[in-house]
Structure 1
Amino acid sequence: MSAFSLSHFNHSTSAAMSAHSSAPTLAPAFHPFSVASSIHISSTPSNQTGCHPDDTNIRLPLIAFYSIFFILGLVGNIFALWVFLFLQSSRNSVRVFLINCAVADLVLLACLPFRIFYHVNGNKWVLGPVACKLVGNLFYMNMYISILLLGLISLDRYLRLKGKSKARRRLTMKLWGQSWPWSWLVCGIVWSLSLMTMVFMIATAEDSEDTDRCFQYKKRRKVQGKAYFNGVLVVLFWLVFVMLVISYIKIASQLLRASRDKPGLPNAQKYKCTAKKSFFVLFVFSVCFGPYHAFRPIYILTQLSDTVSCDYLQLVDHTNEVMLLLSAFNSCLDPVMYFLLSGSVRKTALQAVGHRLGNRLPFWNDGTSNSSTTEFRRSSVAIQGMALVLPNPTPQNDNLPPSTGPCG
């Protein structure tokens, strides 16, 4: 009987110990606080410390658009630069600005393959943080150089309209024993200041240095100076934009007035078409740069804020990428602007296309004729010194036959 009791006691003890040993493994699964605790860990508040906007879902569109912009912009700007350097014999200030604008576009386009490779590689950067800063700052630097140069073109035309071209041409600088006109001097200042700014931006540390990421949303809590500098660039853009609007409205109104009040002038009816062409620069600004700089203040404020949710940051980041695409699209539209506003570019482009296509499309032949701006310049003496307001065509255009189309 005692043996049976001892055996029963041992069996009961081992069962109790077995139940006790298994309790710790089961208890957390059914503990009322364990589920809440796991939920709290997995859904931590979306503070900015661990919030990284993800561009994976827009990666393929970015690859496609940047690739298209790179090909079209490269062909167009190389062709325009070839015309300006080797085929155009005029040496006016607008030609200088257009040369520098084409160079700035080509440098910006050289940054696009790095962006394309970054997105093709699954948004992984393999060239290090310094190369990332170099490519990113080169992109923005040349974007703002293009903006400034387009503004300078409008200013140059406005000065011609006001009859101040002689005073402008007297502004020269002696360098390497040669006199350089004011346009080269201004372009040199723009490039020098831009390069110094770029070096400063590269040398300045970021809030966090991610070796495997680039072109991503960045916080500016520690380096707020960069955010404020970006704000200054936004103000600079809108000042240039206002200057363009005022300049081209005055230029267009002057052309339209000449067409209306002086119907006997050669090609007077074409001034209306020329006025419309001059607004293409405003179109470029409005479509390419306007949305980006209208949204930029919102982007900068989120960089300085600590109370923005991750979902909102994701929306801001994606919107900024779309606006940046429009800005890069400017590099494709600039050669179109050269074609519309410069008679020599039109003439060379049409010669490159060939006479066969020109004979089939009559309006193409019109591009090789005297532009209305040429006639407008010839008529300037008769209308009290009104100056040419668009880029001068090459002298050989003067010997071409008159235009057969409605809008030369």
Structure 2
Amino acid sequence: MTTFSFASSFPFTLSASASSNYSLTVSTLSLPVSMSSFFATTSPPNQTVCSFDDTTLRLPLAVLYSLFFIFGLVGNIFALWVFLFLQSSRNSVRVFLINCAVADLVLLVCLPFRVFYHINGNKWVLGSVACKMVGNVFYMNMYISITLLGLISLDRYLRLKGKGRARRCMRMRLWGRSWAWTWVACGALWGLSLVPLVSMIATAEDKEDKEKCFQYKKRVQAKGKAYFNAVLVLLFWLVFIMLVVSYAKIASQLLKVSRDKPDLPNAQRYEQTAKKSFFVLFLFTVCFVPYHAFRPIYIISQLRETYSCDYLKLIDRTNEVMLLFSAFNSCLDPVMYFLLSGSVRKTALQALGHRLGNRLLFLNEATSNSSMEFRRPSVPMAFPNRELNTPSIIPRTSICVINSNLCRTGLTTLPTTGQQ
């Protein structure tokens, strides 16, 4: 029996992989055409894994998130200290600002995890559950802060329309105790936020890499998370529209009073107060609008598989930059508190001491003359010349003048309201 040595017929030798490929080719050639085409179509293609590890953004993200954490932590702790221990007023805005400061502090606690992740070469060492917990807590508190800022704008507008007195009497009895409606609203907001938070943490991702976190993820198999993110985007735009309408009406009313009643005391301060309302809206727009304008593009890319790797890398890089603006809002919120409430400004300057207060004398003057608060003054009215009906008022804020004098001058759109 004659044996044919295939290797001896060639002057060279084949490696193991090459010989296996060659034998596969020979075997397929010996098969019928239909069978060979079947093997050709079912062979695994060369799939390229899209890596989102952008080394150029590691250091900038780590530095910026560190600065946000330091300045935001100092500002919000100081604001919370003023709200809880120094400020004497007990109105609805104070309740919203306390909850907003708490939400910012919880968000800031998540930033050191992001800093460590980027410093460690974008490698996560705490497991997938911890990654989802930190990421979802970050987003939950961001949207809680957004909603609270919307409620503050709505409260300012209702006070301007003279509906604050009716809301002041709104109290709810829970667990044998009477609560103000503002505390009930904030408690309901926190409670409703915990439900999707737990579900987002418990739900699995498409492909969970324990060494990766805070990066682009596909939602082809976890479409519920993508749809929930779309609902949050819709919630933001509703709050944004409410902010624009409320502050625009507040500013237009103040400017109208300044033009129509220039003889009122401190009438020139109304324009400054109107500008403050636009500045608060400006800060909100800069921090949150770019991120949520880009968010629909990000969510659509998560649900489809037809995009190239380079396009997805661009999506991930843009999302990281936009998210920086949203995180920056936690540092700017104490500035908003300072602008929203004249009593907060006054108490904060007193807490900083006389030496710093003297250097910031212009802020102290602004505190006594203009504010976003709408309340009745605590000092009595005096009319030295009743024939001329010339009011002489020493209000704590310029809006006090609105609440106390416009009723006497015939403008009934701003009736007097007491403190809540």
Q: TM-score, normalised by structure 1?
A: 0.83
Q: Which residue of 1 aligns with 2:391?
A: none
- What is the alpha-carbon distance in structure 1 between the residues aligned to residue 416 and residue 221 of structure 2? 51
Give ranges in structure 2 of 5+ residues lacking alignment: 1-6, 23-42, 374-396
Structure 1 residues 50-61: aligned runs within 5 Å: 50-61=49-60
SS at match of 2:178: strand
Deviations 1:298-326 (A, max 9, x none): 00011001111000000000000000010
**More moved, 198-207 vs 342-351:** 342-351
Residue 248 (structure 1) aligns with:
247
Answer yes or no: is 1:324 the counterpart of 2:323.
yes
Contact 1:377 1:387 in 2 (8 A): no
Matched, 1:377 2:409: no
2:325 and 2:187 map into 1 onto residues whose CA distance is 27
C-alpha RMSD over aligned residues: 2.9
Between 157-166 and 235-244, report the one with greater CA deviation. Answer: 157-166
1:173–1:181 contact (8 Å) kept in structure 2: yes
Change (3 A) 1:20 1:392: farther
Partner letter of residue 256 of structure 2? R
Partner of 2:354: 355
Matched pairs, number: 365
- How far residue 360 of structure 1 moved from its aligned partner, in angstroms, is 4.4
1:9-408 matched pairs, under 5 angstroms: 20-22=10-12, 24=14, 44=46, 46=48, 50-360=49-359, 362-372=361-371, 374-384=397-407, 386=414
Which amino acid in structure 1 is aligned with residue 231 of structure 2?
V
- Give 1:378 deviation, angstroms: 4.0
**1:23 Cα offset (Å):** 5.0
Give the fraction of aligned pairs with identical amino acids, expressed as a percent.
Answer: 71
Deviation readout 1:339-396 (Å, 9 max, x if unpaired):
122222222332344333444454244245343552322442432351689x989xxx
SS of aligned partner of 1:22:
coil
Secondary structure of the corresponding residue to residue 268 of structure 2:
helix
CA distance in 2, matches of 1:388, 1:92: 15
User: SS in structure 2 opposite 1:90?
Assistant: coil
Deviation at 1:19, TM superposition (A): 9.5
**Aligned-partner residue type, residue 114 of structure 2:** R
Would you say the 8 A contact 2:287–2:326 is kept in 1?
yes
Q: Cα 1:170–1:352, aligned 2, differ >3 Å: closer, same or farther? A: closer
- Partner amino acid, structure 2, of 1:22: F
Q: Check the 8 A contact 2:269/2:398 in 1, yes or no.
A: no
Secondary structure of 2:225's match?
helix
Cα separation, 1, equivalents of 2:107 and 2:359: 36
In 2, the alpha carbon distance for the partners of 1:325 and 1:388 equals 42
Gaps of 5+ in 1: 1-16, 32-40, 394-408
Which is bigger in relative contact order (C-alpha 8 A, separation at least 6)?
A: 1
| Farther off after superposition, 184-193 or 169-178 | 169-178
Distance 1:128 1:272 in 2: 54
